[in-house]
Amino acid sequence: MRKKISEADDALSAWDKSIDEDNTTWLKGIVEKYGWPTISDIGPDGSQAAWLLVQHADHDPDFQSQCLALMHALPKGEVKPANIAYLEDRVRVAQGKPQLYGTQFYREGGKFAPQPIEDPDNLEKRRQAMGLEPFSENQERVKNYYSPKSQPL
């Protein structure tokens, strides 16, 4: 759905933000009742789906931070490390801090670039530790995925 919207002529106004808000409300109920949805509890697909919902809960940065802390506290193997990396960067960027893993980008006019990155000399080591592809490959993939008309990442 997000890809379709990103191809629209007026992508920012085409996206119905209530979708993210409704999904966040639903996920909050799950997290309050059961904690973070783990791979062993709901499988890799379910855990991935929960992460996608919180990753796009930008209207509720406190909830994103709460979920990130829950994910960090889980034993290894209960959450995909790459999901932690993406959410970590999302939370840091929202807080005005540089990202750690280089997963968050922006487009302004004709310029497409990553949000500021902390300690860029060690970026590839951090990405590798979280199971992420090399930054240059990710940057090219993201750039190619989003058309010039797309919404900011």
Per-residue pLDDT of the chain (153 residues; tens, 9 = 90+): 555 555 554 445 556 788 889 999 999 999 999 999 999 999 999 999 999 999 999 999 999 999 999 999 999 999 999 999 999 999 999 999 999 999 999 887 767 889 999 999 999 999 999 999 999 999 988 888 765 554 444
The residues, any chain, with a CB within 8 Å of residue 98's CB and separated by 6 or more, are 92, 115, 116, 117, 118
Map residue 32 onto helix, strand or coil: helix
Structure tokens at 65: 């931070």
Structure tokens at 110: 């004709």
Where are the chain's structural domains?
Answer: 17-79, 97-153
This prediction has a pTM of 0.85
Of 138, 149, 92, nearest to 113 (Cα)?
138
